[in-house]
Structure 1
Protein backbone atom coordinates (compact mmCIF):
# COMPACT_ATOMS: atom_id res chain seq x y z
CA UNK A 1 0.00 0.00 0.00
CA UNK A 2 1.45 3.35 -1.02
CA UNK A 3 0.34 6.66 0.32
CA UNK A 4 1.25 10.18 -0.71
CA UNK A 5 2.70 12.49 1.90
CA UNK A 6 1.53 15.89 0.74
CA UNK A 7 3.34 18.98 1.95
CA UNK A 8 1.14 20.76 4.47
CA UNK A 9 1.85 23.93 6.47
CA UNK A 10 1.00 22.24 9.77
CA UNK A 11 3.56 19.47 9.24
CA UNK A 12 7.11 20.77 8.74
CA UNK A 13 8.39 17.21 8.24
CA UNK A 14 6.12 16.85 5.20
CA UNK A 15 8.07 19.58 3.40
CA UNK A 16 11.39 17.75 3.03
CA UNK A 17 13.18 14.76 1.57
CA UNK A 18 16.38 13.56 3.23
CA UNK A 19 19.11 12.00 1.10
CA UNK A 20 21.98 10.04 2.62
CA UNK A 21 25.40 10.82 1.14
CA UNK A 22 27.68 7.81 1.29
CA UNK A 23 26.52 4.81 -0.70
CA UNK A 24 23.31 6.59 -1.70
CA UNK A 25 24.26 9.77 -3.55
CA UNK A 26 27.83 8.53 -3.93
CA UNK A 27 29.13 5.25 -5.25
CA UNK A 28 29.98 2.84 -2.43
CA UNK A 29 33.46 3.14 -1.00
CA UNK A 30 35.40 4.28 2.04
CA UNK A 31 35.33 7.92 3.06
CA UNK A 32 38.23 7.96 5.49
CA UNK A 33 40.19 11.19 5.37
CA UNK A 34 37.23 13.09 3.98
CA UNK A 35 37.25 11.35 0.60
CA UNK A 36 33.92 11.64 -1.22
CA UNK A 37 33.15 9.20 -4.02
CA UNK A 38 31.73 9.93 -7.42
CA UNK A 39 27.95 10.29 -7.78
CA UNK A 40 25.91 7.16 -8.41
CA UNK A 41 24.29 7.09 -11.85
CA UNK A 42 21.02 9.00 -11.69
CA UNK A 43 21.64 10.43 -8.22
CA UNK A 44 22.27 14.03 -9.23
CA UNK A 45 19.30 14.15 -11.63
CA UNK A 46 17.11 12.77 -8.83
CA UNK A 47 18.46 15.34 -6.36
CA UNK A 48 17.76 18.19 -8.79
CA UNK A 49 14.23 16.94 -9.52
CA UNK A 50 13.41 16.47 -5.85
CA UNK A 51 14.76 19.95 -5.08
CA UNK A 52 12.30 21.43 -7.60
CA UNK A 53 9.39 19.95 -5.62
CA UNK A 54 10.42 19.76 -1.97
CA UNK A 55 13.00 21.01 0.48
CA UNK A 56 15.99 18.65 0.25
CA UNK A 57 18.68 17.98 2.80
CA UNK A 58 21.71 15.74 2.50
CA UNK A 59 22.60 13.93 5.69
CA UNK A 60 25.72 12.03 6.59
CA UNK A 61 27.30 10.39 9.61
CA UNK A 62 30.52 12.25 8.84
CA UNK A 63 31.88 14.49 11.60
CA UNK A 64 31.03 18.19 11.41
CA UNK A 65 34.53 19.12 10.21
CA UNK A 66 33.87 17.29 6.89
CA UNK A 67 30.50 18.91 6.17
CA UNK A 68 31.90 21.89 4.19
CA UNK A 69 33.48 19.41 1.75
CA UNK A 70 30.14 17.62 1.45
CA UNK A 71 28.40 20.92 0.65
CA UNK A 72 31.07 21.71 -1.95
CA UNK A 73 30.60 18.24 -3.48
CA UNK A 74 26.81 18.72 -3.71
CA UNK A 75 27.22 22.16 -5.30
CA UNK A 76 29.95 20.96 -7.71
CA UNK A 77 27.96 18.03 -9.06
CA UNK A 78 24.42 19.43 -8.89
CA UNK A 79 24.95 23.10 -9.63
CA UNK A 80 22.62 23.85 -6.71
CA UNK A 81 23.56 25.96 -3.74
CA UNK A 82 24.43 23.78 -0.76
CA UNK A 83 25.45 24.94 2.68
CA UNK A 84 26.28 23.43 6.05
CA UNK A 85 23.55 23.54 8.66
CA UNK A 86 24.57 26.24 11.16
CA UNK A 87 21.90 25.27 13.71
CA UNK A 88 22.51 22.38 16.12
CA UNK A 89 18.90 22.76 17.29
CA UNK A 90 17.26 22.40 13.86
CA UNK A 91 14.55 19.75 13.65
CA UNK A 92 13.24 20.44 10.13
CA UNK A 93 14.31 21.87 6.77
CA UNK A 94 11.45 23.52 4.92
CA UNK A 95 13.17 25.81 2.40
CA UNK A 96 12.42 24.67 -1.11
CA UNK A 97 13.68 26.32 -4.25
CA UNK A 98 16.84 24.34 -4.80
CA UNK A 99 18.99 25.28 -1.81
CA UNK A 100 20.32 22.08 -0.28
CA UNK A 101 21.02 21.81 3.43
CA UNK A 102 23.94 19.58 4.47
CA UNK A 103 23.77 18.16 7.97
CA UNK A 104 24.89 15.26 10.13
CA UNK A 105 21.46 15.22 11.79
CA UNK A 106 18.58 13.18 10.43
CA UNK A 107 15.88 15.85 10.31
CA UNK A 108 12.14 15.31 10.03
CA UNK A 109 11.13 14.44 6.48
CA UNK A 110 8.36 13.02 4.34
CA UNK A 111 10.85 10.45 3.00
CA UNK A 112 14.44 9.33 3.48
CA UNK A 113 16.66 7.72 0.88
CA UNK A 114 19.39 5.67 2.54
CA UNK A 115 21.35 2.60 1.47
CA UNK A 116 21.23 1.14 4.99
CA UNK A 117 17.55 1.70 5.70
CA UNK A 118 14.98 -0.95 6.52
CA UNK A 119 11.44 0.09 5.69
CA UNK A 120 8.97 -0.20 8.56
CA UNK A 121 5.35 -0.46 7.43
CA UNK A 122 3.77 -1.13 10.82
CA UNK A 123 4.62 -4.82 11.26
CA UNK A 124 7.53 -5.27 13.66
CA UNK A 125 7.82 -9.00 12.93
CA UNK A 126 8.70 -8.21 9.30
CA UNK A 127 10.91 -5.25 10.26
CA UNK A 128 12.78 -7.22 12.93
CA UNK A 129 13.37 -10.09 10.51
CA UNK A 130 14.86 -7.67 7.95
CA UNK A 131 17.10 -5.99 10.55
CA UNK A 132 18.16 -9.38 11.91
CA UNK A 133 19.20 -10.52 8.41
CA UNK A 134 21.06 -7.24 7.80
CA UNK A 135 23.16 -7.54 10.97
CA UNK A 136 23.54 -11.31 10.98
CA UNK A 137 21.51 -12.18 14.08
CA UNK A 138 21.13 -15.91 14.40
CA UNK A 139 24.24 -16.76 12.36
CA UNK A 140 26.99 -18.79 14.00
CA UNK A 141 29.59 -16.55 15.60
CA UNK A 142 27.22 -13.60 16.01
CA UNK A 143 26.39 -12.64 19.56
CA UNK A 144 22.66 -12.88 20.17
CA UNK A 145 22.58 -12.21 23.92
CA UNK A 146 20.92 -9.12 25.30
Structure 2
Protein backbone atom coordinates (compact mmCIF):
# COMPACT_ATOMS: atom_id res chain seq x y z
CA UNK A 1 0.00 0.00 0.00
CA UNK A 2 0.95 3.63 -0.45
CA UNK A 3 -0.29 6.26 1.98
CA UNK A 4 -0.32 9.99 1.13
CA UNK A 5 -0.06 12.36 4.09
CA UNK A 6 -0.74 16.09 3.95
CA UNK A 7 1.85 18.28 5.68
CA UNK A 8 0.19 21.40 7.14
CA UNK A 9 -2.39 20.57 9.78
CA UNK A 10 -1.52 16.86 9.78
CA UNK A 11 2.25 16.72 10.41
CA UNK A 12 3.05 20.40 11.07
CA UNK A 13 0.71 21.94 13.66
CA UNK A 14 0.05 24.99 11.41
CA UNK A 15 -1.56 27.00 14.21
CA UNK A 16 -1.37 30.37 12.38
CA UNK A 17 -2.15 29.24 8.85
CA UNK A 18 0.22 30.14 6.04
CA UNK A 19 1.51 33.21 7.95
CA UNK A 20 4.81 34.13 6.27
CA UNK A 21 5.35 30.78 4.55
CA UNK A 22 7.76 29.47 7.17
CA UNK A 23 7.36 26.17 8.98
CA UNK A 24 7.04 27.73 12.42
CA UNK A 25 5.31 25.14 14.62
CA UNK A 26 6.35 21.82 16.12
CA UNK A 27 4.93 18.56 14.81
CA UNK A 28 1.34 17.59 15.63
CA UNK A 29 1.19 15.32 18.69
CA UNK A 30 1.72 11.76 17.51
CA UNK A 31 2.63 12.76 13.94
CA UNK A 32 6.23 11.57 13.89
CA UNK A 33 5.49 8.25 15.62
CA UNK A 34 2.47 7.81 13.36
CA UNK A 35 4.55 8.34 10.22
CA UNK A 36 7.14 5.87 11.44
CA UNK A 37 4.40 3.29 12.13
CA UNK A 38 2.97 3.77 8.64
CA UNK A 39 6.43 3.60 7.06
CA UNK A 40 7.17 0.30 8.83
CA UNK A 41 4.32 -1.29 6.90
CA UNK A 42 3.67 0.84 3.80
CA UNK A 43 5.18 3.28 1.34
CA UNK A 44 4.45 6.84 2.48
CA UNK A 45 4.72 10.20 0.76
CA UNK A 46 4.00 13.70 1.98
CA UNK A 47 2.00 15.90 -0.35
CA UNK A 48 2.09 19.64 0.14
CA UNK A 49 1.52 22.92 -1.65
CA UNK A 50 4.80 24.14 -0.13
CA UNK A 51 8.14 23.88 -1.83
CA UNK A 52 9.03 20.19 -1.28
CA UNK A 53 12.67 20.96 -0.36
CA UNK A 54 11.49 23.17 2.53
CA UNK A 55 9.36 20.35 3.96
CA UNK A 56 12.08 17.75 3.38
CA UNK A 57 14.59 19.85 5.36
CA UNK A 58 12.13 20.14 8.27
CA UNK A 59 11.37 16.41 8.18
CA UNK A 60 15.11 15.62 8.06
CA UNK A 61 15.58 17.66 11.25
CA UNK A 62 13.09 15.27 12.82
CA UNK A 63 15.03 12.18 11.77
CA UNK A 64 13.45 11.20 8.46
CA UNK A 65 15.24 10.33 5.24
CA UNK A 66 13.51 12.28 2.48
CA UNK A 67 13.56 12.63 -1.28
CA UNK A 68 12.02 15.41 -3.31
CA UNK A 69 12.49 14.06 -6.82
CA UNK A 70 10.53 11.22 -8.33
CA UNK A 71 9.32 10.37 -11.80
CA UNK A 72 6.19 8.37 -12.38
CA UNK A 73 2.68 8.15 -10.94
CA UNK A 74 3.49 5.77 -8.06
CA UNK A 75 5.64 5.84 -4.91
CA UNK A 76 6.44 2.32 -3.74
CA UNK A 77 9.59 2.76 -1.68
CA UNK A 78 9.38 1.87 1.98
CA UNK A 79 11.61 3.40 4.61
CA UNK A 80 12.10 6.70 2.82
CA UNK A 81 9.69 9.62 2.58
CA UNK A 82 8.97 11.30 -0.70
CA UNK A 83 7.97 14.95 -0.32
CA UNK A 84 6.09 16.21 -3.36
CA UNK A 85 3.66 18.84 -4.53
CA UNK A 86 2.17 16.31 -6.98
CA UNK A 87 -0.86 14.16 -6.26
CA UNK A 88 0.37 10.62 -6.79
CA UNK A 89 -1.67 7.45 -6.68
CA UNK A 90 -2.30 6.21 -3.15
CA UNK A 91 -4.47 3.75 -1.30
CA UNK A 92 -5.46 6.47 1.18
CA UNK A 93 -4.97 10.22 1.60
CA UNK A 94 -4.65 11.58 5.14
CA UNK A 95 -5.63 15.26 5.04
CA UNK A 96 -7.14 17.64 7.58
CA UNK A 97 -9.27 19.44 4.97
CA UNK A 98 -10.68 16.49 3.10
CA UNK A 99 -14.31 15.87 2.27
CA UNK A 100 -14.91 12.18 1.80
CA UNK A 101 -16.57 11.57 -1.53
CA UNK A 102 -19.36 9.02 -1.71
CA UNK A 103 -21.66 10.79 -4.16
CA UNK A 104 -22.22 14.31 -5.49
CA UNK A 105 -25.32 15.05 -3.42
CA UNK A 106 -23.52 14.36 -0.14
CA UNK A 107 -20.40 16.20 -1.29
CA UNK A 108 -22.37 19.30 -2.27
CA UNK A 109 -24.32 19.17 1.01
CA UNK A 110 -20.99 19.42 2.86
CA UNK A 111 -19.41 21.99 0.57
CA UNK A 112 -22.52 24.09 -0.12
CA UNK A 113 -24.71 23.61 2.99
CA UNK A 114 -26.88 26.66 2.16
CA UNK A 115 -27.71 25.64 -1.39
CA UNK A 116 -31.36 25.16 -0.49
TM-score category by the smaller chain?
0.7 to 0.9
Which shows bigger deviation, 29-38 or 108-117? 29-38
Q: Which of 60, 76, 80 pairs up with 1:94?
A: 76
Give the structure, 1 or 2, with the largest relative contact order (CA under 8 Å, sep 6 or more): 2
TM-fit CA distance, 1:32:
4.8
| TM-superposition CA deviations, 1:45-66 (whole Å, max 9, x none) | 111100111100001012xxx3
With normalisation by structure 2, the TM-score equals 0.86
With normalisation by structure 1, the TM-score equals 0.70
RMSD (CA atoms) = 1.9
Q: State how 1:53-72 maps to structure 2 within 5 Å.
A: 53-62=41-50, 66-72=51-57
Number of residue equivalences? 114
| Structure 1 unmatched ranges of 5 or more | 1-14, 140-146
Structure 1 counterpart of 2:18: 31
Which shows bigger deviation, 111-120 or 123-132? 123-132
Structure 2 counterpart of 1:115: 96
Structure 1 counterpart of 2:3: 17
| TM-superposition CA deviations, 1:92-122 (whole Å, max 9, x none) | 10111x100000011100000111110113x
C-alpha distance in 1, partners of 2:20/2:68?
19
Q: Which of 69, 91, 99 pairs up with 1:85?
A: 69
Q: Which of 29, 47, 51 pairs up with 2:39?
A: 51
| Structure 2 unmatched ranges of 5 or more | none
Over 2 Å off, 4+ runs: 28-34
